[in-house]
Amino acid sequence: MLAYALRRFLISVPILIASTFVVFLMASLSGNPLNQLMAKNPPPPPHTIELERQRLHLDQPLLERYWNWLTGIFRGDFGPSVQSTMDIGSEVTSAYLVTLRLIAAAMLIALILAVIVGVVSAVKQYSGIDYTFTFTGFLFLAMPSFWFAILLKEAGISFNNAVGDQVLYTIGDSSVYVSGGAWAQLADTLGHMVLPTISLALISFAAWSRFQRGSMLEVLNSDYVRLARAKGLPRGRVMRRHALRTALIPLATVTALDLGSIISGAVVTETVFQWRGAGHFLLQAIQRDDVYAITAWLLFSATIIIVLNLVADLLYGVLDPRIRYA
């Protein structure tokens, strides 16, 4: 297992480097970071524009800029921002810490719901429960993430107005000032996470529950499960020990592959609920044509996706002992 994990990690490194080059190339060619400076009225003198061009390394060839940026990452330098006072490394890290708590909570809830709904639908195939779960899953699949987030936000506002108190938080990832110590701050943070987490979790759960249902049906009809039943093993043990563990393998794969969609969904959800997380950081960087900030954001995203795909590969051997890593 250790050798397999090491090989997978070594394979992931060139993939990550290749993705950084593609991202840096696309971000560099997508806009001119000096546009906002040159659009000022009155226009700045040419000497000022040239100094800014040198500070942003725009006077260097593209490949040289990429190499300097890539080697600078190992020193904690993610490149100069259009905003001269901003440290890209610390800003993108802080933004992602806000977003990762939303993604982690949403994925956990979505996975639990997907497994429960998928297993029940498979066991109760073509029953009223199965049709109800199927309809619900397709309903959430058809909903655009931004529209569902807006509906939840409006519902939260209406609920607060109805009860005459701030029960559901609809703006921001935390309150500006919270009194009462660490527990009060934790409660405030969790309160702000309720609606965005529900929005992101239900959209993700819909697709995963369908995968889990199909996988569970395939496993239930396999020979070794029928043999376990014929040997007289308890139904619950057959479901947990023999069927469910194997049926979770496709779900682990789909979850890892869908992580990019979850991050993009988190960007939309954060925008609706006005969180100052990774989504806000990315949108601000795009508006400023801040090449190094955009590239840093995409680098963090690519790293998270590659790491979780590696974790999914390692989970195969845990979920199904028949899988061996030679």
Domain assignment present for residue 58? The answer is: no
Cα–Cα distance measured from residue 73 to residue 87, given in angstroms and rounded to the nearest whole number: 13
Amino acid identity of residue 252, one-letter, is A
Domain assignment present for residue 75? The answer is: no
- The CA-atom distances, in angstroms, between 40 and each of 43, 245, 263 are 5, 61, 35
Domain assignment present for residue 276? The answer is: yes
Cα–Cα distance measured from residue 222 to residue 47, given in angstroms and rounded to the nearest whole number: 74
pLDDT at 322: 64
Domain assignment present for residue 241? The answer is: yes
Cα–Cα distance measured from residue 304 to residue 289, given in angstroms and rounded to the nearest whole number: 24
SS3 223: helix
pLDDT at 206: 86
Domain assignment present for residue 88? The answer is: no
pLDDT at 167: 83
Domain assignment present for residue 68? The answer is: no
pLDDT tens for each residue of 34-75: 888 888 888 888 888 888 889 988 888 989 999 999 888 888
SS3 152: helix
Domain assignment present for residue 60? The answer is: no
Q: How far is CA 157 from the centre of its chain?
A: 26
Tokens at 188, concatenated:
């405030």
Residues in the chain: 326
Residues lower than pLDDT 70 in the chain: 1-2, 320-326
Number of domains the chain contains: 1
pLDDT at 112: 93
Q: Is 78 exposed, middle or buried (0-12, 13-18, 19+ CB in 10 A)?
A: buried
pLDDT at 323: 64
| CATH number of the domain bearing residue 218 | 1.10.3720.10
pLDDT at 118: 92
Structural domain that includes position 146: 2-34+93-319
pLDDT at 326: 52
pLDDT at 321: 63
pLDDT at 46: 86
Domain assignment present for residue 183? The answer is: yes
